[in-house]
Copies of this chain bind each other. A is one copy, B any other.
Amino acid sequence: MSVTLKDVAALAGVSRSAVSRTFTEGASVSAKTRSKVEKAAAELGYSPNALASSLTTGRTKLIGLISNNFHNPIFLEVFDQFTRALQERGLRPLIVNLTDETEPANSVRMLRQYSVDAVIVASSTLPPSFAKAFHDAGVPVVHTFGRSATSPEVHVVGIDNVECGRMAARELLARGYRHVGYLGGPKDATSAMDRYHGFMEEVEKHPNLKVSHSFATGYSFEAGRAEMLRLLAGTPAEGYFCGDDILSIGALSALSDHGLQPGKDIGIIGLNDMEMSRWESVDLTTIHQPIKQIITASVDLVEEMLKDPERYPEARIFPCRVIERGTLRPRP
């Protein structure tokens, strides 16, 4: 069926080792045999079986890429960046879509069966314990968009969600909003809770503010819209920090149902600065999360772990900044 080392060796009239060595970086082969082998290989259309070699080398160059955010448009950008960054460095992403039905433990077992060299957990909602399960199973792991503080056992790359909560609160207050609200992602998401705590910490510094908070059922358009509709049925706040851009866009849609103008009647600030937030029709004021740097750093870390598996776990936290667009009233 497919051409193997042996076939090439036979045609070139050399040993199998010679063929193997011409295809491995920095091995000792003379120019003469190398060219014989290359000629034979080209003739037969040979290319080495990466999986067979992984047996002896212990490296597959497969990287598990796990996520559970397949409904937030930001993740298209995330996948694009991750897959590019990995393949630029000769690594191959093996995707795991973690749905509600799939047992998390299974994905650990599965990825071990495929001998992935490392795993990237790309999720702001999974708990640190999930990433730790890979660590415990002896698989190098990077938790991208993870919570840094409480998991010193794995590498974490992302932002300081607590600080982002504070930043959003400061921004709302600086624009004179006196009745402010947090409309966060699901309660069981670490990012939603961290942003909440930062937000509350900041607003509590100021005595006579009205503050409310609520959590949507997910990081999705529908969840954001539903939650904002519920809020509008009561007495809404003047300005909201929505814990994510897609939530914000859902909330904006609810405002529009009620004939309310964002930035004028009610203020909204999001988090992520995804592509869509820049669209003229959306024009969302938001906190920019440096996705590209985060992903590059994650893949950097993966590479460094491959070199040194004993590497001490590290958190790489990137600063965020407010991007001013049209959904908050101007500063006074």
Q: A-side interface residues toward B, CB under 8 Å?
A: 1-2, 47-52, 54-55, 58, 60, 62, 65, 70-71, 73, 75-76, 79-80, 83-84, 87, 92-97, 99, 102, 109-110, 112-115, 138, 221, 252-253, 256-257, 275-276, 279-281
Decide if A79 touches B70 in the complex (CB within 8 Å).
yes
Docked pose: A94 CA to B259 CA in angstroms: 46
Q: Which residues of B contact A114 (CB under 8 A)?
A: 50-51, 62, 92
Q: Which residues of B contact A93 (CB under 8 A)?
A: 94-95
Docked pose: A238 CA to B70 CA in angstroms: 37
* Minimum C-beta distance from A198 to chain B (A): 28
The chain B residue with its CB closest to the CB of A84 is B97
Q: Which residues of B contact A280 (CB under 8 A)?
A: 253, 256-257
* Minimum C-beta distance from A199 to chain B (A): 26
Q: 24 interchain pairs (CB within 8 A)?
A: A1-B58, A1-B138, A47-B112, A47-B113, A49-B115, A50-B113, A51-B54, A51-B55, A51-B60, A52-B55, A65-B95, A71-B76, A71-B80, A83-B95, A83-B97, A84-B99, A92-B94, A92-B110, A93-B95, A221-B275, A221-B276, A252-B281, A253-B279, A253-B281
* Minimum C-beta distance from A5 to chain B (A): 13
Top 3 nearest A-B pairs (CB, nearest first) are A83-B97, A70-B80, A50-B113
Q: Which residues of B contact A281 (CB under 8 A)?
A: 252-253, 256, 281
Docked pose: A227 CA to B48 CA in angstroms: 46
